[in-house]
Amino acid sequence: MQADIVVLPGDGIGPEITACAVRVLQQIAQKFGHEFRFQTHLIGGAAIDASGEALPAVTLDACRGADAVLLGAVGGPKWSDPKAPVRPEQGLLAIRQALGLYANLRPVSTHPAVLDRAPIKAELLQGVDMIVVRELTGGIYFGKRSRTADHATDECAYSRSEIERVVRRAFRLAQARRGYLVSVDKANVLDTSRLWREVTTRIGAEEFPDVRLEHQLVDSMAMHLIARPREYDVIVTENMFGDILTDEASLLAGSLGLLPSASLGEGRIGLYEPIHGSAPDIAGRGIANPYATILSAALLLRHSLGLEAEAAAIEKAVSDALYAGCFTGDIAVKGQTALNTEQAAEAVLARLV
């Protein structure tokens, strides 16, 4: 297979971790007989510095012509002024909307080798395996907004069609897994959530009667995620609730450095990135955990290129590295030797041969 992959290193530790993922993809291409062609472009703060824009036209054009996009992270103190007219995060919102990437998939699973790294009792975490599906291009992040000296408004709006497409994707995922979907809303207060619940209930009854559907209010779901995480299979929710709940769910894995994500639309192209940020405090020190980005490359192979065996090979290599005690500083404990970024990548590459 031939495939064109755009790499957007971004800011902070982004260049370091995406370089590791590219090396893994190159080894996969060699091992399985594929040809992956890589282009690197700017996004976020690096793009602002170079062009004044968080998502330059040349970057977006390259992404539109690619089969998949691998992203590092954006942002940092240099660009953190909330009054700035252009901010790195605007690049993320713009690329998601421009490419029609309305569904963000965040798989959350626990690894036996690092169960004790999470701030939650290990017995609650054994066997956790869920996917959170977050609607990505609607809701309050994309609504109308206004601001005066003493008043501000952020509008949360959803159409029936926006809800239908992301809910259908979540139902299909649940069908292929354990047949259990939880839809999260705030239907006791918000009209957008009442529409969300109405649409989800109808689609479940009419199109996916084999999937068990449960509704949860977002505040109670926040508690259940910590108290009984093993129970959940697929969770679907709107943009802001999903943003908050997926960061909370990251605690289950023991480190943000272990969790990948995929942002998908109706076509082949997807955007793949670790769920963590740019970590400017450790940027350039060579100690960032590359595993989440490498696992994001596995999702790229699975969802955009349809290469399941290759994706599984990467996931197994990361898992084997963790079983072997190949820990970076965020997951190493006292008395263990912490690997640097390069050594962690080498640990994965050594298990792909």
- Tokens 């490419």 label which residue? 99
Q: Has 210 been annotated as catalytic? A: no
Q: Choose the catalytic residue: 4, 129, 233, 243.
A: 243
Q: Choose the catalytic residue: 11, 67, 141, 185.
A: 141
Please check whether residue 276 is in contact with residue 16, taking contact to mean a CB–CB distance below 8 angstroms.
no
Q: Choose the catalytic residue: 49, 61, 191, 219.
A: 219
Crossing angle between the packed helical segments 88-98 and 57-64, to the nearest 10 degrees: 30
Q: How many CA atoms lie within 13 A of 56 on its CB side?
A: 17
Q: Has 219 been annotated as catalytic? A: yes
140/137 Cα distance (integer angstroms) = 9
- Tokens 């509008």 label which residue? 155
For residue 262, list its beta bridge partners: 105, 272
Q: Choose the catalytic residue: 186, 233, 316, 320.
A: 186
Q: Provide the token pair at 110.
A: 């626990």
Q: Has 81 been annotated as catalytic? A: no
- Tokens 């809303």 label which residue? 185
165/171 Cα distance (integer angstroms) = 10
- Tokens 């798989």 label which residue? 107
Q: Is 70 exposed, middle or buried (0-12, 13-18, 19+ CB in 10 A)?
A: buried
Helix (H, G, I), strand (E, B) or coil at 208: coil
Please check whether residue 73 is in contact with residue 276, taking contact to mean a CB–CB distance below 8 angstroms.
yes
Find the distance separating the first CA and the last CA of the chain, reported in whole Å: 19
Q: Has 243 been annotated as catalytic? A: yes
Q: Has 272 been annotated as catalytic? A: no
Q: Choose the catalytic residue: 4, 129, 247, 320.
A: 247
Helix (H, G, I), strand (E, B) or coil at 349: helix
Residues marked active site are found at: 141, 186, 219, 243, 247
